[in-house]
Chain A
Amino acid sequence: GAVVSQHPSRVICKSGTSVKIECRSLDFQATTMFWYRQFPKQSLMLMATSNEGSKATYEQGVEKDKFLINHASLTLSTLTVTSAHPEDSSFYICSAVGTGDNYGYTFGSGTRLTVV
């Protein structure tokens, strides 16, 4: 089946630094990538939607200058948390949608970001 590889699985960074999270679709072309944020014991909150080669569309209240999304190819999307602060600590998850036979949403395994 479709697989989305997300890295790193865990990252600890100092306040003020930037962190990049990668999601790769391994066996299909991801035309659309969704980025979610999840706090403990809560549901997934959509942060932004990106289509290959286009600028990401951010949800209301999500700072586009803080959460930079790049979807430069059909197999790779990245989320960069810039100037991270402790309140950015969360679980970040990507989800990819492909074309052709694969209309399902395939989720990455998530990245636990801790900002100290």
Chain B
Amino acid sequence: QQQVKQSPQSLIVQKGGISIINCAYENTAFDYFPWYQQFPGKGPALLIAIRPDVSEKKEGRFTISFNKSAKQFSLHIMDSQPGDSATYFCAASPLGSRLTFGEGTQLTVNP
């Protein structure tokens, strides 16, 4: 019940394309859903996060779509750039409590 399942494991997108990463969870106590970007040798950096009271949140080229009934949420990266090439992790938690991470998605954006 604590799992967060993330897909795909790896993703290759052309520059300017849309990158879509999906996550699903089971624990209905989760009420905080962040996405993190991690470059090699660095700690994760928060990209964008959503609470379950909204279905979508957009910040620049990054959008989270949230489906509470399906217990799914996704990250859309519009106009993907080579600099977006990194590993992306979704996560979920009861707010302020331990985060449960997805398995990660290795995104490669080809120039």
Q: Which residues of A contact B (CB under 8 A)?
A: 6, 32, 34, 41-44, 46, 49, 91, 93, 95, 97, 103-110, 112
Contacts and interface: CB of A to CB of B under 8 A. Distances in A.
Contacts of A91: 41
A43 B43 contact: no
Contact of B43 (A32, A42, A46, A93): A93
A56 to B, nearest CB: 12
B99 interface: yes
Interface residues of B, number: 19
B103 A34 contact: no
A6 B44 CA distance: 13
7 contacts: A41-B104, A44-B89, A93-B43, A105-B99, A107-B36, A107-B44, A107-B45
Contacts, number: 45
B61 to A, nearest CB: 19
B46 A6 contact: no
B85 to A, nearest CB: 15
Contact of A105 (B34, B42, B102, B104): B34
Nearest to A109: B43
A110 B42 contact: yes
B83 interface: no
B12 interface: no
